């Protein structure tokens, strides 16, 4: 275990922990006494049909979802809905390599799949809240991967699905991009195969990882139009040091690697022997597929190709120059488009 004050109630709270017991994983491992960290907003109605589930993205927690996406008057309005944000396994708040006691933690933490997360989340929302339907599952990036998994795995439970900037089956290009993120950290001699004494030992690897996120996470237009300066950074160097690296350098490398491994292998067609069309045909939810127009690794064309395989899905690309990291919410216009589509989706009869 590694003591890391970043993963705390002070930074990401309030959140609750729910122990779902031992979670046997698709790849054969087991997470013992698996904890899911979650936060709720609003109240569950008596019909129990106003629940919205939000899974988190790579590096994300319940806190950013709350700050950027949830609010009175917004589509995800706690006055109308019971909103549950569940932190994905490995994100540092739920069971993760850094917070799992020996011998199962650190580099010994088992491989987790998107499907494992969704089964764990299903256990939480059924056992803890007695839910039998979800009015909406919505998530960005790895949250979109989980959204697709939810809609395919539990088609009768998910009424609406909004995968934002993510795919149902990861592409080989995206897999490779993520591999360069993995390499950035694991190649640091201080990583020591995952048995570092402190995240600071992997400082150089985390910095390289942050730089690669800066290359692929935003867009060339973002920098051409000096958006990084608009956001308060005097130069690219300042942006790298004080934003990108500031953001990632406090995180645990093994936690990031747990999520990266999962991200690389997101694939709902595992349910149907590799037939993606057959898997997506299982979806009974009303889906809105929403890529971000300048996304460099979950590009609109890849999301559109999947959208064509989903019966009655709607395709609503979001115009933005913030690339994939428009998810961070710095482009109010992108958020306005997302809110409008989510409101339309929530208003849709299903």
What residues are labeled active site?
A: 141, 295, 324
Q: CA 128, CA 43: separation in Å to the nearest integer?
A: 14
Task: Give the list of residues 6+ apart from residue 8 with CB closer than 8 angstroms, or none.
Answer: none
User: Contact region for a second copy (CB under 8 A) — 41-49, 141-149, 249-257, 296-304?
Assistant: 296-304
- State the minimum distance, in angstroms, from the CB of residue 258 to a second copy: 21
Residue keyed to tokens 């006494």:
33
- State the minimum distance, in angstroms, from the CB of residue 247 to a second copy: 16
- State the minimum distance, in angstroms, from the CB of residue 285 to a second copy: 25
Of 45 and 180, the one with the shorter C-beta distance to a second copy is: 180
Under a CB-based contact definition with an 8 Å cutoff, are residues 201 and 192 in contact? yes
Does 309 participate in binding a second copy (rule CB under 8 A)?
no
Of 227 and 284, the one with the shorter C-beta distance to a second copy is: 227
Number of residues that bind a second copy (CB under 8 A): 35
Of 109 and 191, the one with the shorter C-beta distance to a second copy is: 191
Does 257 participate in binding a second copy (rule CB under 8 A)?
no
Neighbours of 193 (CB within 10 A): 8
Of 107 and 296, the one with the shorter C-beta distance to a second copy is: 296
- State the minimum distance, in angstroms, from the CB of residue 312 to a second copy: 24
Closest CA relative to residue 139, chosen from 239, 208, 232, 70:
70
Question: DSSP 3-state assignment of 32?
Answer: coil
Closest CA relative to residue 75, chosen from 57, 56, 52, 55:
52
- State the minimum distance, in angstroms, from the CB of residue 213 to a second copy: 10
Under a CB-based contact definition with an 8 Å cutoff, are residues 205 and 185 in contact? yes
Residue of 175, 243, 261, 315 that binds a second copy (CB under 8 A): 175
- Token pair belonging to 269: 């067609």
For 340, how many CA atoms within 13 A lie in the half-sphere containing its CB? 10
Fill in the DSSP letter of residue 207: H
Task: Give the list of residues 6+ apart from residue 311 with CB closer than 8 angstroms, or none.
Answer: 281, 283
Does 189 participate in binding a second copy (rule CB under 8 A)?
yes
Residue of 179, 275, 319, 344 that binds a second copy (CB under 8 A): 179
Of 27 and 179, the one with the shorter C-beta distance to a second copy is: 179
Binding to a second copy, residues 194-223 (CB under 8 A): 204, 208, 211-212, 214-216, 220-223
Under a CB-based contact definition with an 8 Å cutoff, are residues 287 and 162 in contact? yes
Residue keyed to tokens 């350098």:
249
Question: Which chain residues interact with a second copy by CB under 8 A?
Answer: 171-173, 175-177, 179-180, 183-184, 187-189, 204, 208, 211-212, 214-216, 220-224, 228, 235-236, 240, 296-297, 299, 301-302, 305
């Amino acid at each position: 275990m590694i003591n890391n004050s970043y993963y705390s109630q002070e930074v990401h709270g309030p959140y609750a922990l729910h122990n779902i017991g031992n979670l046997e994983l698709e790849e054969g491992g087991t997470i013992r006494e698996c904890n899911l960290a979650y936060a709720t907003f609003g109240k569950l109605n008596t019909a129990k049909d106003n629940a919205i589930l939000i899974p988190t993205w790579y590096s994300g927690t319940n806190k950013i979802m709350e700050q950027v996406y949830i609010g009175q008057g917004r589509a995800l309005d706690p006055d109308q809905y019971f909103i549950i944000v569940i932190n994905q396994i490995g994100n540092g708040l739920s069971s993760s390599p850094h917070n799992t006691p020996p011998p199962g933690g650190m580099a010994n933490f088992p491989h987790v799949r998107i499907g494992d997360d969704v089964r764990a989340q299903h256990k939480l929302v059924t056992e803890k809240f007695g839910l039998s339907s979800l009015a909406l599952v919505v998530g960005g990036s790895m949250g979109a991967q989980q959204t697709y998994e939810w809609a395919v795995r539990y088609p009768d439970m998910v009424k609406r699905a909004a995968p934002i900037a993510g795919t149902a089956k990861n592409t080989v290009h995206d897999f490779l991009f993520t591999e360069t993120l993995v390499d950035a950290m694991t190649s640091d001699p201080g990583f020591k195969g995952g048995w570092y004494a402190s995240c600071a030992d992997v400082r150089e690897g985390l910095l390289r990882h942050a730089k690669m996120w800066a290359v692929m996470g935003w867009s060339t237009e973002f920098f051409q139009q000096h958006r990084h300066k608009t956001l308060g950074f005097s130069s690219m160097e300042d942006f790298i040091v004080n934003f990108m690296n500031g953001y990632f350098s406090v995180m645990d490398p093994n936690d990031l690697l747990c999520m990266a491994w999962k991200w690389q292998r997101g694939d709902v067609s595992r349910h149907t022997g590799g037939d993606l069309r057959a898997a997506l045909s299982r979806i009974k939810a009303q889906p809105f597929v929403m890529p971000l127009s300048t996304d460099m690794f979950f590009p609109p064309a890849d999301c559109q190709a999947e959208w064509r395989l989903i019966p009655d899905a709607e395709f609503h690309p979001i115009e933005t120059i913030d690339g994939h990291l428009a998810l961070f919410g710095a482009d109010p216009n992108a958020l306005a488009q997302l809110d409008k589509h989510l409101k339309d989706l929530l208003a849709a009869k299903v």
